[in-house]
Structure 1
Amino acid sequence: MQSRACAVTVIVLVLLGFVLDLAVYPQEMARFAVARIVTSIGVLAGLGMLYTAFGRRHVHAVTFAWLTLPQLMIAWMIHVTQGEVSLFYAGIILTLFAVGTLFPVGYMYTLGYGLLTLTLYWIACVARPQGVTDHAQFLFHSTIILFSVAASTVYTFYNERGRRQLFDLKEELAQKNDELERTNRSLADIKGQMLQQEKMAALGTLSAGLLHEVNNPVNFCLMAIEVAREEPAAKGSPMLLECLEDAREGMLRVQYIVSDLKTFAYRNEHVDGSTFLLERALDAAVRLVSHETKGIAIRRDLAGETLVRGDEAAIVGVLINLLSNAALALRKGPTPAPEILIASREEGERLRVTVRDNGPGIAPENLQRVVEPFFTTREVGQGLGLGLSISYSVIERHGGHLAAESQPGEWTRFSFDLPRAGGER
């Protein structure tokens, strides 16, 4: 845009010189008109070259070339008219200022252009047949041109520095915008974490209340069921005994649910220093879910030492939940050769445990929500959506993190880490 503006300005100044030709040198009007038109065409051609592949590769050289055309024209006019006395030196000065103020070039570029212009003026005057006749006028005009070169160079220097500062400010602004965007993403993550913390805290308060309010009536019911089972009438009726057993199992199930909810009430407490073998906890978990995993191959790949620190019962509960969820997904698939792989690897002072199944996977929109309390994709009545939330809380109390990965239609993998017993030594 600035190149076009400079070119248009130079062409306008060159063509307006017709008026000066008419006023001062009317006898030279014809050939001066040809010179001005040819120069204007040359400037346009030079500007057009900047839009070619060659011009883009040599933009400074091409620009310098077409900017020199008006100075060559004026120097020739000075040479063929009155030399150092010619009024055309004013045209040289106008071109210098046009280049210095309109063209986005460096100050060294402007200085070089100005010195070339001064040299052309000297050649135009000295090369005349009679040479320089009025040395005072020659010195005066040369000084004025030199002052114009200096002024144009100084202006270009500060203009260039201003452009550089503007570029730096734009770059700094872009960096600040990137930092602000990262900060906004961090704030969004923190907001999500705080929301999760609030959910957990609310659930902890709820579970503490449920523990007190539900346990007492459940215990009363269990006591009444045990008394009823000892009655002769109950012992003499298999149907009644079966009903009482069903009622007892239902009350125990309520107790288990409330007991699981206790995890949220104590989620910020540190686990004790007791140790246990992960493979022993895994054995217990596999036995407890054997009725759910029937017909599903369960493979193990436990590498190295599996002695860890923490709450064994709670970790058994986590493994039960992960195995149960995997079995449910495999049956829901269905999967031709259902399989669950439990693996462990030592990672410094932590033991990384993974539970992977080859089931249908988890939809991407649900993957980040699987540990939210009460979030479930099961049908109503098949789960409260608390299993993974409780497991997440248990692993967090052990200083670890429960994470889910999945490839829909191929596999799902849950992983968590526990403190190794050897890590404290």
Structure 2
Amino acid sequence: MLKRTASRYSPYEADLREFRLVSSRAGALTAIVLVMAGVGLDYGIYPSHQLQFFVARLVVSVLIGLIFLLLANQAGRRFVQPLTLAWLLLLPQMMITWMIATTDGASSIYYAGLNLVIFAVGIAMPMGLWQTIGFGVVTYLLYLGACLIHPDGLAQRAHFTVNSLFIMFSIVASAVYTFMNERGHFHLIRLKEELAHKNDELADINRRLADIKGQMLQQEKMAAIGTLAAGLLHEVNNPVNFCLMAIEVAMEEPQAKENPSLEECLVDAKQGMQRIQHIVSDLKTFAYRKPGAEVEGTPFLFEKALDSSIRLTAHELRGVSLSRELPADTLVLGDEAAIIGVLINLFSNAALAMRKAGTAAPAIHTTARWDNHRLHVMVRDNGPGIPQENLARVFEPFFTTREVGQGLGLGLSISYAVVERHGGQLYAESELGQWTAFSFDLPRAE
């Protein structure tokens, strides 16, 4: 159960495999030292078997050494536990049981070596509970086989019974140690997982705090713009109104009505004055905008607003190929002057970027389509594109890649607020070195 639960913590499986590898290699080196150190026991207890046992110990040590080397390469790392069981069970235990059968059988002192290996498995080796119990059972069966092979068999009943009990005690103790080690390792993994989860939560909290801090700074900036815009609105409106009155008077003159070109120029001048009014008004509106608020406006033809924006940016669009793809009906509801401002901003930015990058055959294509009672508009250019790190920031107030004195970085921010006021959103897409597209939507005039 513990193993199944722990397996869920996949981030730590690599650490567990590394721990098993290190433990197995360290245990193998220890086993080599202890196996060869047993030469002293052979000399003191069974001198007649000394040469025979020395050869056996040497062969076992060499085989354990080969497994140690195998655990060092990539192939061996995939089979850490099978290789560990191999050098523990097939080598030392089989050697010890052979020594028991060769010497005194059930009364041989070498049975203590079996207990030593069982304890090592439970305490030092990275084995599971059932692996430890299985190892202990196989070890006891080897001991039983060694006693049966001995000429005296089980005649030494007292020694056999006592040694069997000690081996059983060793198996139980080793199993308990393994169980506790598993629980400790499981709790360690759980604590690591909880710590990682807490760290993720703290990172998320830090990101939220950073976002809140940025929003507060932005609100402070917008409040300052609102105060500035309020003053500008009062100071600029007076001369603009005088100009508008003069333009209205001029438009009523017979010469203007008889000359279509002059009348068109006066209309453009009037729209330019209205544009000045809306620039300051939009700054103030952006500073105190309420996302999701209903748009206040009148029905107008988007095609007409597009024509006006192209005329007002004609000097910036010199040399730029313009094309459009519009539906027959483009009647939308909203603030026509504000939407003209959005289009002017998009056209101006595209023209500036293409001119700065030296785009060959610069072009801007405007498309519009109806979807779910909203007109979806896209303005796409074949300019240099926007780097990915800047794409997510183009609508931030005061963010600009232009040189100092060439803009405050408010155009797209204000345009975003204008579209938002119309119940839509302004999106930016780009492929670096290929194209840039801005999309927004407007409500249908019912």
Please tell me the TM-score bracket, short chain as reference. Answer: 0.7 to 0.9
CA contact (8 A) 1:96 1:152 kept: yes
Q: Could you tell me which amino acid in structure 2 is paired with residue 201 of structure 1? A: A
CA contact (8 A) 1:10 1:98 kept: no
1:199 CA displacement: 2.1
Residues 47-74 of structure 1, C-alpha deviations (whole Å, 9 max, x = no match): 2233356534544333222112111121
- The match for 2:221 is 199
- The match for 1:338 is 362
Deviates more, 1:148-157 or 1:197-206: 197-206
Which residues of 2 match residues 54-65 of structure 1 at below 5 A? 55-65=76-86
| Correspondent of 2:65 among 38, 44, 66 | 44
- The match for 2:168 is 146
- The match for 2:323 is 299
How many Å separate the matches in 2 of 1:4 and 1:374?
A: 62
1:111 CA displacement: 1.2
1:375 CA displacement: 5.1
| Correspondent of 1:87 among 87, 104, 109 | 109
Q: Which runs of 5+ in 1 are unaligned?
A: 230-247
Q: Could you tell me which amino acid in structure 2 is paired with residue 163 of structure 1? A: H
1:169 CA displacement: 3.5
How many Å separate the matches in 1 of 2:220 and 2:159?
A: 89
- The match for 2:92 is 70
SS of the residue aligned with 1:399?
coil
Which residues of 2 match residues 245-284 of structure 1 at below 5 A? 258-268=280-290, 270-272=294-296, 274-284=298-308
Residues 1:165 and 2:187 aligned together:
yes
Q: Could you tell me which amino acid in structure 2 is paired with residue 418 of structure 1? A: L
1:335 CA displacement: 3.9
| Correspondent of 2:411 among 382, 387, 399 | 387
Residues 368-400 of structure 1, C-alpha deviations (whole Å, 9 max, x = no match): 554444555556766554433321221222233
Percentage identity across paired residues of the two chains:
58
Provide the TM-score with structure 1 as the length reference: 0.80
Residues 1:119 and 2:141 aligned together:
yes
Q: Could you tell me which amino acid in structure 2 is paired with residue 164 of structure 1? A: F
**Cα 1:35–1:326, aligned 2, differ >3 Å: closer, same or farther?**
closer
How many Å separate the matches in 2 of 1:220 and 1:201?
A: 26
- The match for 1:241 is none
- The match for 1:132 is 154
Rg larger in 1 or in 2? 1
**Cα 1:39–1:208, aligned 2, differ >3 Å: closer, same or farther?**
same
How many Å separate the matches in 2 of 1:332 and 1:79?
A: 93
Q: Which runs of 5+ in 2 are unaligned?
A: 1-21, 251-268
SS of the residue aligned with 1:318?
helix
Deviates more, 1:94-103 or 1:334-343: 334-343
1:336 CA displacement: 3.8
How many Å separate the matches in 2 of 1:17 and 1:358?
A: 83
How many Å separate the matches in 2 of 1:382 and 1:154?
A: 77
Deviates more, 1:190-199 or 1:363-372: 363-372
How many Å separate the matches in 2 of 1:220 and 1:417?
A: 31
Provide the TM-score with structure 2 as the length reference: 0.76
Residues 26-49 of structure 1, C-alpha deviations (whole Å, 9 max, x = no match): 333232222222222222222223
- The match for 1:289 is 313
Q: Report the count of equivalent residues.
A: 401
SS of the residue aligned with 1:51?
coil
SS of the residue aligned with 2:364?
strand
CA contact (8 A) 2:29 2:68 kept: no
1:4 CA displacement: 1.8
Deviates more, 1:64-73 or 1:356-365: 356-365
